Amino acid sequence: MNIPSKKLQKSLVAFLAFVLALATPNISNAADAGNGQKVFKANCTSCHAIGRKVVGPDLMDVTKRVPSTDWMFSWIKNNAAVLKTGDKYATQVFNDNGKQAMTVFDGTLTDDQIKDVIAYLAVAKPDAGPVATAATGTETGAPENKHKGQFVWVIVIIIATLFIIVTVLRTVRKSLQAVVDEKTGEKTQVGNGTTVWQDIGIWIRNHKSRFAVTVIFFIALSSVYSWEYLWGIDVTPGYHPSQPINFMHKVHAGDNAIACIYCHSGAEKGKVAGIPTLNVCMNCHKGIQGSTPEYQKEIAKVYYAAGWDPSKGDYTNPPHPVQWNRVHSLPDFAYFNHSQHVVVGKVECEKCHGDVKTFTTDQQFAPLTMGWCINCHRETPVQMEGNGYYAKLHEAIKQKFGDDKKVTEADMGGLECGKCHY
């Protein structure tokens, strides 16, 4: 068995090598398409894609339409130089693509790398292009509700089973009692003619103190639970509704380390941090169309909402404002101002919003109850250092109480009703 199999292995290897050689165009003989793909992804995808136009032209089958491979090489290496020579094809490409100058890679990429890229482009398959689709908002997701429902059913089933068992046992007992009665000729208290309720009544009369303790225990228990429950109404930490666009803070704030303030610029200016408007999204997403089909689908929703036509590279479609499901919603009677906390109080965003960098769907981190606000006001020292508003006061407090006197928000009147309620 060994010999033929070895032979087979050899011939298989030979066959594969042949197929590969056939499948690879001549140019790539000296170049590595696999490496080319890596280089392409690292350097080109912010402006180019295979199978669709981004900022630069669609590179599907580009090797077939350019005048020559050498032309392509010199173009990638230094397109500005090619344009200077007055090359006809180069000028046309430049004009057709909004006269946007391409990056010069001379010095950044080695000649071999450029050749690898060209090799890759010759074989590259199109990635799934984003199609502008409607961003449809879905119902708010509350997965724990499902479990809650199941829990209730389990309880109902248990109660039903217990009820059936009790009924059966009672019937059995009655029959047995009847048999006993027949034998002894006596008539006991329990027996025919009494209902379940009468039986319960009899039991209670016989076990008054035990019954009282049970009732008190149940009342106390349910009071405690209702109390807890009532306090918890509308307190929803962990609330994470699904959103019309599956925006991921993990990708933006986490992987790409974009500062919170870049998108939520209102946080430094006024009372609302604000959900970024679509033009802010488009600052980056004009170029970034997504690396996976899932991302592309979501980014396509951004284009749809903004009225951006990726093929034309312009806002030519009608806009469709995104209806986000609000995650943090304070009641109207509580006034909260972001700039007060972020700029003056120098509070980190994470303190109230949690480790947003890891969130795949945005969720409410803090309970947002008054007690939670108040606690922080009690503990947090006022950022007096370096703020001219507090200068005189700071000096006076230092003189009166010494340098290490910690002045908390509460000391400054931060617990007064009128700070938040008006």
Partner 1 sequence: MANQKKYWKGLEELTASPSFVKAKTKEFVEEVPVDEFLGNQGQNPSSTSRRDFLKFLGFSVAAASLAACEAPVVKTIPYVIKPEEVTPGIDNWYASTYFDGQDYCSILIKTRDGRPIKVEGNTMSGVTKGAANARVQSSVLSLYNSERLTGPMIGHKKATWEQVDKEIGEKLAKGGNIRILTSTIVSPSTDQIIADFKEKYSSTKHVSWDAVSFSGLKKANEGGIPTYAFNKADVIVSIAADFLTNWLSPIEFSKQYAEGRKVGKNKKEMSRHIQFESIMTVSGANADTRVQIKPSEEGAVAIGLYNAVAKQTGGSSLAAPSFSDAKISERIDKTAAELVKSKGKSLVVAGSNDTAVQVVVKEINKLLDNYGADKSINSDKACYLRQGSDEDFAELVSDMKAGKVDVLITYNVNPVYNSAKALGFAEAYAKVPCKIALAEVKDETASGANYICPTHNYMEAWGDANPYDGQYSLAQPAIYPLFSKKFPRENVESKYEGTRHAQENFLKWSGSETPDYYTYLQQYWKKNVLPEQGSEGGDYMFIDLWNKTLSSGVFEKEAKPRVMESASSVSLSDAASKIAATPKGGIEAVLYEKTGIGNGNQANNPWLQEMPDPISKVTWDNYVTMNPGEMKDKGYNLLLDDNRDASIVTVSANGVTLTLPVYPQPGQARGTIGIALGYGRTGAGKVANGIGQNAYTLVQWTNNTFQYNVANVTVTKADGTYKLAATQTHHTMIGRPVLKETTLEEYKKHADAGNEEEKIPVMLGSKSEDRSFKDVNLWDDYDNKSPVNMTNNAGNLGLRWKMAIDLNSCIGCGACVVSCNAENNVPVVGKEEILNAREMHWIRIDRYYSSDLTMEKAKEEGMTESHRMYTMMDASADNPEVAFQPVMCQHCNHAPCETVCPVIATSHASEGINQMVYNRCVGTKYCANNCPYKVRRFNWFNYYRDEKFLTVNPAQESNEMGRMVLNPDVVVRSRGVMEKCSLCIQRIQGGKLKAKIEGRTIKDGEVNTACAQSCPTQAIVFGNGNDPESRVAKLMDDERNYLLLADLDTQPNVFYMTKVRNSDHHLLSE
> Does 411 contact partner 1 by CB under 8 A?
yes
* Binder among 318, 402, 403, 404 for partner 1 (CB under 8 A): 318
> Does 98 contact partner 1 by CB under 8 A?
no
119/267 with CB nearer partner 1 = 267
Q: Give Cα 3 distance to the centre of its chain.
A: 58
Three-state SS at 370: helix
* Binder among 4, 143, 185, 386 for partner 1 (CB under 8 A): 386
Cβ 375 to partner 1 shortest distance, Å: 17
DSSP 223-261: HHHHHHHHHHTT--TT-----SS---HIIIIIIS---HH
Cβ 150 to partner 1 shortest distance, Å: 18
40/239 with CB nearer partner 1 = 239
* Bridge partners (DSSP) listed for residue 309: 314
Instruction: Spell out, one character per residue from 213 to 232, where the chain touches partner 1: x when CB under 8 A holds, - when not.
Output: -----------------x--
> Does 234 contact partner 1 by CB under 8 A?
yes
107/418 with CB nearer partner 1 = 418
130/244 with CB nearer partner 1 = 244
> Does 233 contact partner 1 by CB under 8 A?
yes
Residues 6+ apart with CB under 8 A from 394: 384, 385
> Does 270 contact partner 1 by CB under 8 A?
yes
> Does 140 contact partner 1 by CB under 8 A?
yes
Cβ 57 to partner 1 shortest distance, Å: 27
Cβ 163 to partner 1 shortest distance, Å: 26
The backbone torsions φ and ψ at residue 126, rounded to the nearest 5 degrees and listed phi first, read -65, 140
Sign of CA dihedral 306, 312, 314, 315: negative
- Straight-line distance from the first to the last Cα atom of the chain, in angstroms, rounded to the nearest whole number: 91
> Does 144 contact partner 1 by CB under 8 A?
no
The backbone torsions φ and ψ at residue 6, rounded to the nearest 5 degrees and listed phi first, read -60, -45
> What's the rounded Cα separation, in Å, for the pair 320 and 217?
57
Three-state SS at 174: helix
Q: CB count, 10 Å around CB of 415? A: 15
Q: For 192, what's the count of Cα atoms within 13 Å in the CB-facing half-sphere?
A: 9
Q: Total number of residues binding partner 1 (CB under 8 A)? A: 65
* Binder among 71, 211, 324, 372 for partner 1 (CB under 8 A): 324
Structure tokens at 363: 């969720």
Closest CA to 352 of 418, 260, 277: 260
> Does 275 contact partner 1 by CB under 8 A?
yes
> Does 266 contact partner 1 by CB under 8 A?
yes
> What's the rounded Cα separation, in Å, for the pair 88 and 71?
12
> Does 138 contact partner 1 by CB under 8 A?
no
> What's the rounded Cα separation, in Å, for the pair 310 and 54?
7
Q: Note the residue count of the chain.
A: 422
Q: Which of the 8 DSSP states describes residue 308? A: -
Three-state SS at 309: strand
Residue type present at position 201 = G
Site for partner 1 in 155-214 (CB under 8 A): none
* Binder among 57, 287, 307, 313 for partner 1 (CB under 8 A): 307
> Does 297 contact partner 1 by CB under 8 A?
no
Site for partner 1 in 8-37 (CB under 8 A): none
Choose the binding region for partner 1 from 18-26, 37-45, 188-196, 324-332 (rule: CB under 8 A).
324-332
Closest CA to 250 of 346, 363, 108, 343: 363
Q: Which residues bind partner 1 (CB under 8 A)?
A: 137, 140, 230, 233-234, 236, 239, 241, 265-266, 269-272, 274-280, 305-307, 315, 318-326, 329, 331-333, 335, 337, 339-340, 343-344, 386-389, 391-393, 396-397, 399-400, 407, 411-413, 416-419, 421-422
